[in-house]
Amino acid sequence: MGRWRERLHFRQVFRAELARGEERFPFAVPLKVSLLSDRPVMPFSNSHNLSKMNYSAEDEYPDLSLHNNHMASILTLELYTKLRGKQTSSGFTVDDCIQTGVDNPGHPFIKTVGCVAGDEESYDTFCDLFDPVIEDRHGGYKPTDQHKTDLNADNLEGGDDLDPNYVLSSRVRTGRSIRGFCLPPHCSRGERRAIEKLSVEALASLEGDFSGKYYALKNMTDAEQQQLIDDHFLFDKPVSPLLLASGMARDWPDGRGIWHNDNKTFLVWINEEDHLRIISMQKGGNMKEVFARFCSGLTQLESLFKSQNYEYMWNSHLGYILTCPSNLGTGLRAGVHVKLPNLSKHEKFGDVLKRLRLQKRGTGGVDTAAVGGVFDISNADRLGFSEVELVQMVVDGVKLLIEMEKRLEKGQCINDLIPAQK
């Protein structure tokens, strides 16, 4: 693309991409950017080798004394000694798992994950690390717990009547991993290209409202790229140190791309943070329609993979397997952009969201300020609840938030509307 457009594009995606990475590790080490190229300079890499076994565990154990993440809280020298000689069948080691958390100490008041999986086997091979991380991150979810899956949109009660005077847009997204391939932090070029080919062929078989087009990042024309920027569909090379340190940006943009249906309401990112990132969205407050499309498209896509003898990574304990432990289970985030200018100023706003198991962010992503009192409100949980249950929490919670907003517009008290903890 032209030099001026390349710079414009980088500036447009920089803040959004940085914010998305910081969802799991806010306030990571600042990224250096070259002013000459306007391209992010990758400050980290995975370079572990078998020579580490020539040194003692004490020599190889990372300094985590100033770190604040779940991995750092759990990875003692004793545990590191137990795990450091292990690797999955694809060669992923515990040092690969933890590198992103080692390189990103985090913020003293914000505790996030600090580790990733390199393949499906990682969660078993390094269960002594992952199990307590998952339990801490997902509200006490234990190794013996069983995850629930429910992709029947008919089980959602209501959701088609969120007040359009307050709700501007609705979306549901998740991730999926294809069994038999390594995850993005560890996959080879050949694996990544095979995932792209398999996914594009499956998506090309979708029909009707799901008929669409694929755009490979490396082959886009200037016009196509600008249109995807204008539609807010485009993802670019990660600039978050969290994602870079985990190895997700290797060989960029090879094997990456974006597919969307003709109506621009169903979108799939290929080989970004996960093999597939699947999004259903539309303007207005009809979350039921958005969720129905999400479930239908997801189910159809899975059937097409199965017809080629492939399936999603899933088990009864962790649900759908994804790169970051924070997204295990459903991997689902259901959100609406909703106008709450009065409620957002109320002293109990944060407490109300916590009680409803919801979270807020600005419409520009994590750690962005709300503009005009418009917030992105979504479910806080991923694991231990079904897809229907999580979307139901958002639907019911947003209705209550709007009711509170209307009360405050009239100068009325909302104390009687404050909910009990869900």
140 annotated to a ligand binding site: no
335 annotated to a ligand binding site: yes
334 annotated to a ligand binding site: yes
CA nearest neighbour of 172 among 355, 329, 350, 391: 391
Beta bridge partners, 359, equal 378
* 288 within 8 A of 334, measured Cβ to Cβ: no
190 annotated to a ligand binding site: no
277 annotated to a ligand binding site: yes
Separation between Cα atoms, residue 341 and residue 43, nearest integer Å: 40
For residue 112, give the DSSP letter.
B
* 95 within 8 A of 127, measured Cβ to Cβ: no
Tell me the two tokens of residue 260. 């969307």
Amino acid, single-letter form, for residue 108:
P
Residues in the chain: 422
* 318 within 8 A of 142, measured Cβ to Cβ: no
Beta bridge partners, 258, equal 215, 269
173 annotated to a ligand binding site: yes
Separation between Cα atoms, residue 159 and residue 273, nearest integer Å: 29
**What CA–CA distances, in Å, run from 82 to 85, 99, 385?**
7, 17, 32
Which phi and psi angles does 208 have, rounded to 5°?
Answer: 65, -130
Dihedral sign of CA atoms 102, 139, 243, 369 in order: negative
* 218 within 8 A of 254, measured Cβ to Cβ: yes
For residue 105, give the DSSP letter.
-
Separation between Cα atoms, residue 396 and residue 11, nearest integer Å: 37
Can you give the C-alpha Rg of the chain in angstroms? 21
361 annotated to a ligand binding site: yes
366 annotated to a ligand binding site: yes
337 annotated to a ligand binding site: yes
374 annotated to a ligand binding site: no
| Binding site, annotated residues | 169-173, 232, 277, 333-337, 361-366
Binding-site entries for ATP: 169-173, 232, 277, 333-337, 361-366
